[in-house]
Amino acid sequence: MNKRLTLKDVAKAADVHVSTVSRALDPNSSTSLSEEVSNRIKVVAKELGYRPNRIAAGLRTNKSMTVGVMIPDITNTLFPPIVRGIESTLEPFGYATILVNTDNIPERELRLIEVLRERGVDGIITVAAHRNDPGIAELIELGIPVISLNRRLDISTVPYVINDDNVGMKLLLKHFFDLGHRRIGHIAGPRDLSTGQIRAAAFSEGCKAHGLPDCADLIYYSDRFEEAEGERCTVELLRTNPDITALLCANDRLAIGAYSGIRSLGLRVPEDISVTGFNDSPILESIPPRLTTVRIQKFEIGQAGAKLLLNALQGGAKGPIGTVLPVELIIRDSTCAPRSES
């Protein structure tokens, strides 16, 4: 069995001190070396086939060089670009990610937080946080850095990066209003998620701004951001309010479910009911009619969150508590002027 190569072996081959090799091969090292020396050591290490012993390094530094990433639904196409944004930022600094899927179940999330703590992660990026989240609250008390993406917590001390839910909803509502719609319903997300709560509040504010009547009865809250819930809420809402001509859904999956609900009632999209979503999922181009929606920055939100976490892990100045990224209205085929009343 071949002996594992060590820093001493690389130092001997490169004719430098072990500490110099350590600095050259540490992506987080702030100690300056000449480019010539640093490159020579890296070439020697590569030629020898040297691989760092992360376990040994972790024992010396009390760092595992791992970050936990929590997502709520591994099957949802929204999250892979976010994870890629996270990894693209952390990897150059030597961090590996441990990805866990909570299924949006609070009890499962608590168990997975314990798993990540047992693995000794240096910090956690969560895309799965609920507004009131005891697991995240405990991490904060323990001093473990946490960043929340796409959602925010009611805990004011947890840094977050979100897309502009408020502006996005108001862009969609204005689009409906400009087309001539005046009876607009909203399929909202769950109340215990910030995305559901913020988008529903923005819908209500937008209705008032456009002089539309009280819309409280036109909001149906889903239990989950899923197609089946979109269909259920749509059927219930349209049966109760048959004069609705447009549905503003809190995300794309709810909107796809709304398509099914509308068709089950013998109606058409958009001729009878216009529909919009939120997030701009990649699959939308292949589902007719192509969905009008709001495009959010998925890869970029991952990058921004990872940068905040890196700053915290490296002891930098405290970053902003809240970062809000701009959004864009994408108009496609699922919206048109309301049907005539003839």
Q: Which of 13-17, 32-36, 73-77 has the highest mean pLDDT?
A: 73-77
pLDDT of residue 163: 97
Confidence of residue 169 (pLDDT cuts 50, 70, 90): very high
Strands (E), the chain: 66-71, 96-101, 123-126, 146-149, 160-163, 184-188, 219-221, 246-249, 274-276, 293-295, 322-325, 328-330
Per the structure, the count of domains in the chain is: 3
Q: Strand 123-126 to strand 146-149: parallel, antiparallel, or no bridges (unpaired)? A: parallel
One domain for residues 158 and 169: no
Residues 209 and 128 in one domain: no
Residue 208 burial (CB count, 10 A) = 12
pTM metric for this prediction: 0.82
Q: What domain range is 94 assigned to?
A: 63-162+297-324
Residue 235 CB neighbours (<10 A): 18
In this structure, the answer to whether residues 211 and 136 fall within a common structural domain is no
Q: Is residue 310 in a domain?
A: yes
> Does a structural domain hold residue 336?
no
Q: Does one domain contain both 68 and 157?
A: yes
Nearest CA-CA partner of 278 in 31, 60, 46, 78: 78
Domain check: are 173 and 185 in the same one? yes
Dihedral angle sign, alpha carbons of residues 317, 63, 44, 21: positive
Among left, alpha and beta (phi > 0; psi -120 to 50; other), residue 150 is left
pLDDT band at 316 (very low <50, low <70, confident <90, very high): confident
Pair (193, 310) in one structural domain: no
Report the pLDDT averaged over residues 82-105. Answer: 95
Domain CATH code at residue 313:
3.40.50.2300
- Predicted local confidence at residue 62, as pLDDT: 60
**Cα–Cα distance between 124 and 168 in angstroms, integer?**
28
Q: Are the C-beta atoms of residues 23 and 33 closer than 8 Å to each other?
A: yes
* Residues 185 and 306 reside in one and the same domain: no
**What's the whole-number average pLDDT of the chain?**
89
Question: Is 284 in the same domain as 194?
Answer: yes
pLDDT digits (tens, 9 = 90+) for 194-206: 999 999 999 999 9
Report yes or no: 9 and 53 within 8 Å, Cβ to Cβ.
Answer: no
Q: What is the per-residue pLDDT across 124-145, written as a single tens digit (0 to 9) for each? A: 999 999 999 999 999 999 999 9
Strands 160-163 and 123-126: unpaired
pLDDT band at 1 (very low <50, low <70, confident <90, very high): very low
Contacts of 17 (CB under 8 A, 6+ apart): 11
pLDDT value at position 18?
72
Does residue 329 form part of some domain? no
Q: Is residue 58 part of a domain?
A: no
User: How high is the pLDDT of residue 31?
Assistant: 62
